Amino acid sequence: MKILIVGPSGTIGSFVARARRAPRDRRGRLQERRRAGRHQGLRLTSGVLSHDPIRLGAGASLANGALESSVRAAAIERPRGLRINAVSPGVLEESLPSYGPYFRGHDAVPGKRVANAYVKSVEGALTGQVFSVL
């Protein structure tokens, strides 16, 4: 599974899940492509700042809000079967050492809950949704 990550600053990265991958033969790659075809679509990352801004975070709030609105609008224009969703997590427990001072009063969320939201976004049937993880 490959997940494209678009950060609030516009940076783009990708995450490729390799934890359960074993060496594959040609047939294994073909089966993987068939499985991936069932999950066609776009998954984006927003954030809590779209509805709960912080000081010095106006740009990130703007980007998050625009991204969430775009997901909802694009879903009605995408061809049938191509889904688009966003995951909007709060500040992660794992990032508190770096970002904690900016998110005073915010409840941190464990990375596992955010990962589950991505699984729901990829494997679920919904489109045009913003999965908030607070």
Q: Is the pLDDT of residue 35 over 90?
A: no
Q: Taking Cα atoms as reference points, which of 44, 43, 60 lies closest to residue 103?
A: 60
pLDDT at residue 62, as a whole number? 96
How far is CA 47 from each of CA 7, 54, 87, rounded to the nearest angstrom? 9, 12, 7
Give me the chain's average pLDDT, please.
Answer: 82
Query: What share of the chain in percent tops pLDDT 90?
Result: 66
Domains annotated for the chain, with CATH where assigned, are: 2-133 (3.40.50.720)
Q: Is the pLDDT of residue 18 over 90?
A: no
Q: Is 20 left (phi over 0), alpha (psi -120 to 50) or beta?
A: alpha
Task: Give 56-112 pLDDT, tens digit per residue.
Answer: 999 999 999 999 999 999 999 988 888 999 999 999 999 999 999 999 999 999 999
